[in-house]
Amino acid sequence: MARSSEKGGAGDGQPTEMEMMKERFAKLLLGEDMSGGGKGVSSALALSNAITNLAASVFGEQWKLEPMAAERKARWRREVDWLLSVTEHIVEFVASNQVGKDGTNMEIMTTQQRKDLHMNIPALRKLDAMLIVIKQHSIID
């Protein structure tokens, strides 16, 4: 019998965190079109929708500015990291020069992370971390 450290499991009807992550990645890759019919949205829009939905589910219940519960903070960080890990694989083709064995120069296409993601994702991660710290230390009665 396999032991799972994740919440839920096969025996109690609750999906494990791994199963939830697989479902979210599938939705992102298929552009939220789980039918496979090709009528999904772009990966960027699917990612934006997933982060918006996560924010609504994590922060939507808070009615006042108060420190975050540890489990809520952990869930936010874990799931945002899952979602943003997809951005490392959103690439574009760029021309690159390669020297062949015989010394000839060839232009080939290689992949690199999109420039907008390369610049903005680290900034968004830093902003997110700053907001979490501010939220953690704010107490308003």
Residue 51: Cβ within 10 Å count: 15
Structurally, how many domains does the chain consist of?
Answer: 1
Residue 50 CA: distances (Å) to CA of 1, 111, 132: 33, 25, 19
The strand pairing partners of 94, in sequence order, are 110
Q: State residue 64's pLDDT score.
A: 67
Domain containing 43 equals 17-137
Q: What is the pLDDT along the chain (141 residues), one digit of tens a residue?
A: 444 444 444 556 788 878 877 887 777 766 666 565 666 677 777 788 888 888 888 877 666 667 778 888 888 888 888 888 888 877 889 999 999 999 999 999 999 888 888 888 888 889 888 888 877 776 543
Whether 8 maps to a domain, the answer reads no
CATH label of the domain that carries residue 87: 1.20.58.2010
